[in-house]
Amino acid sequence: MDAMVITDFGGTDIFENRDVEKPSPGPTEVLVRVHASSVNPVDYKIRQAGSWAGISPPTVIGYDVSGVVEAVGEAVMDFEPGDEVFYTPEIFGNQGSYAEYHVADESIVAQKPTNLSHTEAAALPLAGGTAWEAIITRGNVAAGETALIHGTGGVGAHAVQIAHAAGAQVIATASPEMVEQTENLGAARAIDYKSEEFTDVIESEFDEHVDLVFDTVGGDTLVESTGITKPHGQLVTILEPEGEWGNAYQKNLSIEMLFLERSRRPLEGLRRLAERGQLEPVIDSVLPLEEVAKAHEMVEGSGLTGKVVLDIAGD
């Protein structure tokens, strides 16, 4: 099968188009004809130095799939050939999705939203699944509460929509070019982090502090948010937080560090929201698989307004 392989760890020049062996599904696995994938920050981090994830070049990386089931293992119960599915592959030591075919255990695979194309659906699994876990599972957001979301890239843009669909009032920090889009996605207020201090905006424009903070930015952003978080509030981050945490301790704040565990459950939630029109994949660009190096350069840079999707089947 056709695949884009990393021949070593390093820059974007290590991608090589190769013919690699087509995988076969194990007893509980499905073989999927990949129609589209997408590029996430974890992709370029693994490309640069992925030994921490058990990755050994030459290999195929990539951690989003939307495609069609071609074959199933003898113990598979929930899928059959022809089913349209989407999922985020396991990272540690496994082959990724920059290829024509991919195998995955059926427990991490879900039916694709019927109203989305493969290129649209491929933008959702990793970013959207992380957002779902942060807002719904870890953040346990409730209708009427206020959620502050730092960063509106791939994960943050979907988190805004999920929190809004859950009935929360959403405040988000965003780059200048993302402010209008963020409010269109459901934020009551998008704060331009380059020209405004989020703590000042919340103190001056809102009657209450926030119930939940979700940080996709890193640095000292999360610790700076403790002053405008209610006592017993929730803090969730996908990056290692920095700073002094005395204020969080005194206010009995809960801090959750999130690395997405692969599961069908959040994908089913994303599918329901998408089919109801409450969740829209946020896409900046769609490129052919052969331009994966360019896609990585785009994600490593700045100025994107959504996910970079790879069209693998030529849809």
Residue 315 has pLDDT above 90, yes or no: no
What does the alpha-carbon distance between residue 243 and residue 221 come to, in Å, rounded to a whole number? 9
Structure tokens at 278: 């409450």
| pLDDT (average), residues 78-92 | 97
Q: pTM of this prediction?
A: 0.96
| pLDDT (average), residues 240-253 | 92
**Count of other CB atoms within 10 angstroms of residue 53:** 16
Q: 298 with 291: CB under 8 angstroms? A: no
What does the alpha-carbon distance between residue 242 and residue 230 come to, in Å, rounded to a whole number? 20
Q: 159 with 134: CB under 8 angstroms? A: yes
| pLDDT (average), residues 262-287 | 98
Does domain 128-257 fall under CATH 3.30.465.10? My reply is no
Does domain 2-124+281-311 fall under CATH 1.10.730.10? My reply is no
**Which helix or strand (DSSP H or E) is residue 261 part of?**
none
What does the alpha-carbon distance between residue 225 and residue 200 come to, in Å, rounded to a whole number? 11
Tell me the pLDDT band of 66, cut-offs 50, 70 and 90.
Answer: very high
What does the alpha-carbon distance between residue 75 and residue 138 come to, in Å, rounded to a whole number? 32
DSSP string, 281-312: --EEEEEEGGGHHHHHHHHHSS---SEEEEES
What count of Cα atoms within 13 Å lies in the side-chain half-sphere of residue 309?
Answer: 28
Structure tokens at 24: 């076969």
Q: Do domains 2-124+281-311 and 128-257 have the same CATH topology?
A: no
Residue 77 has pLDDT above 90, yes or no: yes
Tell me the pLDDT tens digit for each residue of 255-268: 999 999 999 999 99
Tell me the pLDDT tens digit for each residue of 166-218: 999 999 999 999 999 999 999 999 999 999 999 999 999 999 999 999 999 99
Q: Mention every residue, 6+ apart, whose C-beta is less than 8 A from residue 45.
A: none
Structure tokens at 195: 């020209």
Structure tokens at 163: 């929190």
**Annotated domain spans of the chain:** 2-124+281-311, 128-257
Given this model, what pLDDT does residue 303 score? 85
Residue 93 has pLDDT above 90, yes or no: no
Tell me the pLDDT band of 94, cut-offs 50, 70 and 90.
Answer: confident
Tell me the pLDDT band of 132, cut-offs 50, 70 and 90.
Answer: very high
Tell me the pLDDT tens digit for each residue of 297-308: 999 998 899 999
- DSSP state, residue 14: G
What does the alpha-carbon distance between residue 188 and residue 210 come to, in Å, rounded to a whole number? 13
Q: 308 with 180: CB under 8 angstroms? A: no
